[in-house]
Amino acid sequence: MRHSFARWAIRIIAVVVLLVVAALGYRALRQHQVAEALAIRTPAGIEEASFVRIGGIDQWVEIRGEDRGNPVLLVLHGGPGASETPLFSLFRSWEKQFTVVMWDQRGAGKTFAHNGLDQLNGVTNARMAEDGIELTNYLRKHLHKDKVILLGHSWGTMMGLMMVKAHPELFSAYVGTGQVNQIDEKEKYLYADTMKRLEAAHDKTGIAKLNSVGPPPYKSDRDLEVQRALSEKYDIPAERDLRANLTTTVLFAPGWSLYDIYEFLEAPKYTGPALYDEHLSYDAAKVGTKIDVPFFVVNGADDAVTPTPLAREYFDRVESPHQEFVVLKNAGHSAILTEPDIFLRELVSRVRPYATKTETPHG
């Protein structure tokens, strides 16, 4: 009897091992196929991915484009801590018009995995913006460009605004999507809106959960996440299903190990709380309303994280050489990810001309 049980146990273990090996083999094959499909093969193209020394630590930077002569577009991901680098395949069409730079900021993605929790010691908004300026100067020298376009998503708009305000001479244009206005006002708006949705759906469990954390200002980042999860439940389908829809994109992202993906998912749990208290007092108007570069906001009409009416309030206070506010229908907070081709059309028609107009080689 014991021998029979042992044989069955060995067989089950063997089957499990074979299944794991097969799954890992399939993942490796798919990663190779994706890498081949996304490869840059044009004579003037660029395809680089490496750690760059920024702010005293190694930070992950990916640079891709079909023509080095194109304007450089630096993408500032959201979060903080929510890398968008493993999603670079979504922006493949962008690489015909721009040299696209994806960056895992301090406390995000591969940068988080490589440096551990020490990178967040004493981290501030100012430190993050200084990292961004340092990267911008690296790109100008490395890619022989005088200026770059800055595209911030959500938290990235907060850091991006600080960057263009401090050093407008480095940027040909600023583009915000999921544009943050004032955190305190925004969170009160979102709390009331979420409660209305829960009440309309007669979601008693959700109402109880939201009441349990109370209205903002929240005591912690964890309470904030309760509101976000309840809001997401009643968001538009493209936003509600975003994580599920992008799971295979992340899983098969070339160059991303399973450990990298694990740390990619873990990073916001640490970086968000590290900056939470400072973010409570953030107000874009205090950063500045006089912006000395062309200023664009491209927001989803149904943004349930940085409401478009509030983004418009800040936009209307801005004075800049040129500014445009664009609303994308049937899109939400992550329009850059759910509607990348539509977003690209706006970038090409509205923003790119300002980059090419001001661009001169940088030696």
| Per-residue confidence (pLDDT) for residue 246, from 0 to 100 | 94
Task: Return the closest-CA partner of residue 308 out of 291, 327, 294.
Answer: 327
| Per-residue confidence (pLDDT) for residue 42, from 0 to 100 | 97
Reported confidence tier of residue 38, pLDDT bands at 50, 70, 90: very high
Residue 8 pLDDT > 90: no
Task: Please write the tens of the pLDDT for every residue from 130-184.
Answer: 999 999 999 999 999 999 999 999 999 999 999 999 999 999 999 999 999 999 9
Element (H, E) at 139: helix 125-142
CA distance 223 to 25: 40
CA distance 50 to 58: 9
User: What's the pTM?
Assistant: 0.92
* Better-scored residue on pLDDT, 61 or 244: 61
CB 346 within 8 A of CB 326: yes
Structure tokens at 296: 């664009």
Name the DSSP letter for residue 42.
Answer: S
Residue 363 pLDDT > 50: no
Residue 299 pLDDT > 80: yes
* Better-scored residue on pLDDT, 99 or 363: 99
| Per-residue confidence (pLDDT) for residue 362, from 0 to 100 | 47
3-state secondary structure 188-249: HHHHHHHHHHHHHCCCHHHHHHHHHHCCCCCCCHHHHHHHHHHHHHCCCHHHHCHHHHHHHH
State percent of the chain over pLDDT 70: 94
Reported confidence tier of residue 260, pLDDT bands at 50, 70, 90: very high
Task: Please write the tens of the pLDDT for every residue from 316-325.
Answer: 999 999 999 9
